[in-house]
């Protein structure tokens, strides 16, 4: 719902690109897109640009900042195609891709676009196979894989990317038996906890256990978490101040999902997440499409922890 109120589609695109360029001009490490065809959590006719074509465009509109998806939906693309697309974008960005992947969850959207909606067991089984295929196509030649859900027969993936040893793979989700084990096996980064310290602590401990079992160095894996924030000055009427940024989302829902407060109050939430085991924070800042000053203000909060 970020682009509500901007009527022309090209102006919407330019507003999004302006946010990316503002982040690129600052000290942010990365910018992120979500991989959805519809608005979330409720489908609406509001604009939602496709994730990977947008990633490729932003790779050329920016020069320094890393670009990722939190997270790419495995069910929307064959994993061999995903690996090829990601390699291409990594080259286009000169090695700045953070390739995000997850099992997917948005049932209405899958069905609306004609994708079969599998049971959770099958979504996770396909996800497990997909991550292996992607990793191997980035690191091996002549990959052969015959699984229950996917098969590949020596796909040529050249070039494999720019970043060494391969594009950075960010695996989103906190599933303890499949997802976090895949992070330990193949991931460069995890995204866990949704900013909640107790959940971060729990999932990080499970990930560490998988790493110990597999002989992986836990410290080599980035443990990211996401916080929705809206910074404002003390004494400000929060409901009124967020009206435009909410894009029609009801106040109660927005407030339940967002840290709304002063810079110090938001910083305390970041500190709690870091103390719980996260070492990388993703901010979603509502309203940046309408107010680029929010990019700089959020950056000021983030720089406290740099």
266-296: pLDDT as tens digits: 999 999 999 999 999 999 999 999 999 999 9
pTM: 0.95
Domain extent, residue 271, equals 192-201+218-306
Task: With respect to residue 259, please indicate whether it lies within any of the assigned structural domains.
Answer: yes
The predicted pLDDT at position 306 comes to 83
Whether residues 14 and 160 share a domain: the answer is: yes
Whether residues 227 and 160 share a domain: the answer is: no
The predicted pLDDT at position 177 comes to 94
30 pairs with which residues across the strands?
A: 66
Whether residues 128 and 258 share a domain: the answer is: no
Cα–Cα separations (whole angstroms), residue 72 to 75, 161, 174, 247: 9, 18, 15, 24
The predicted pLDDT at position 248 comes to 84
Q: Which of 70, 76, 78, 276 is nearest to 172 (CA)?
A: 70
| CA 50 – CA 40 distance, rounded (Å) | 14
Task: With respect to residue 179, please indicate whether it lies within any of the assigned structural domains.
Answer: no
Task: With respect to residue 212, please indicate whether it lies within any of the assigned structural domains.
Answer: no
Whether residues 165 and 21 share a domain: the answer is: yes
- The total number of structural domains in the chain stands at 2
What distance lies between CA 158 and its chain's CA centroid?
25
**Are the C-beta atoms of 277 and 224 separated by less than 8 Å?**
no
Task: With respect to residue 82, please indicate whether it lies within any of the assigned structural domains.
Answer: yes
Residues lower than pLDDT 50 in the chain: none
The predicted pLDDT at position 247 comes to 85
């Amino acid at each position: 719902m970020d682009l509500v109120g901007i009527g022309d589609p090209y102006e919407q695109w330019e507003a999004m690109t302006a946010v990316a360029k503002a982040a690129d001009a600052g000290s942010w490490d990365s910018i992120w897109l979500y991989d959805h065809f519809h608005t979330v959590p409720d489908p609406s006719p509001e604009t939602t640009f496709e994730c990977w074509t947008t990633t490729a465009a932003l790779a050329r509109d920016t020069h320094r900042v890393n670009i990722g998806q939190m997270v790419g939906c495995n069910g929307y693309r064959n994993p061999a195609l995903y690996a090829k697309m990601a390699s291409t974008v990594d080259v286009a960005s000169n090695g700045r891709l953070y390739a995000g992947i997850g099992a997917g969850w948005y049932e209405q959207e899958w069905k609306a676009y004609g994708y079969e909606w599998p049971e959770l067991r099958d979504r996770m089984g396909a996800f497990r196979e997909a991550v292996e295929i992607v990793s191997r196509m980035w690191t091996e030649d002549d990959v052969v894989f015959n699984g229950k859900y996917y098969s590949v027969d020596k796909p040529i993936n050249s070039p494999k990317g720019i970043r060494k040893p391969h594009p950075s793979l960010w695996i989103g989700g906190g599933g303890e038996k499949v997802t976090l084990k895949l992070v330990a096996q193949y991931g460069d980064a995890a995204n866990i906890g949704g900013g909640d310290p107790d959940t971060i602590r729990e999932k990080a401990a499970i990930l560490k256990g998988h790493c110990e079992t597999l002989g992986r160095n836990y410290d080599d894996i980035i443990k990211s978490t996401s916080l929705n924030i809206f910074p404002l000055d003390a004494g400000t009427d929060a409901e009124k101040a967020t009206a435009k940024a909410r894009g029609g989302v009801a106040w109660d829902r927005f407030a339940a999902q967002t840290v709304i407060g002063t810079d110090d109050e938001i910083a305390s939430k970041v500190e709690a997440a870091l103390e719980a085991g996260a070492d990388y924070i993703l901010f979603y800042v509502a309203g940046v499409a309408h107010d680029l000053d929010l990019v700089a203000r959020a950056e000021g909060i983030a720089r406290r922890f740099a």
